[in-house]
Structure 1
Amino acid sequence: MKEEKTEIVPELSLEFHFDILLKIIKRTHSTYCYQLKELDKINDQN
């Protein structure tokens, strides 16, 4: 579930303000960036 929330933010940020999206998914900017990096690592391994 965490991954899904993190993955959808870039898509929704085209329509909604980034800070609002982070509040909705209950993430700080730093946590969001960390999770995004981790997802990139996983995707690179596949």
Structure 2
Amino acid sequence: MTSTEVKHQARQQKWVAAIQDCRSSGLPVRQWCKQREITPSTYYRWEREVR
């Protein structure tokens, strides 16, 4: 596995945890993203990717 693949896999694991946190927070996605200074488009892109 290349270093790029390892970095992507680590980033993906981070986003899996973030998406689970968002879903369990009870907040709308936009509000959750705003609190964490993440754009909703970034959130949704990663949500699609980790499916």
TM-score, scaled relative to structure 2: 0.52
- What's the CA shift for 1:17? 4.4
Aligned residue pairs total 38
Shift >6 Å, 4+ stretches: none
Larger radius of gyration: 2
RMSD: 2.0
Contact 1:5 1:25 in 2 (8 A): no
State how far apart, in whole Å, the 2-side matches of 1:27 and 1:35 are: 11
1:2 is matched with which residue? 14
Q: Deviations over 1:1-46 (max 9, x none)?
A: 632112210111x2x3433311233311100000101110xxxxxx
- Provide the identity percentage: 18
Return 5+ residue gaps in structure 2 as ranges: 1-12
For structure 1, the residue ranges without an aligned partner over 5 or more in a row are 41-46
**1 or 2, which has the higher helix percentage?**
2
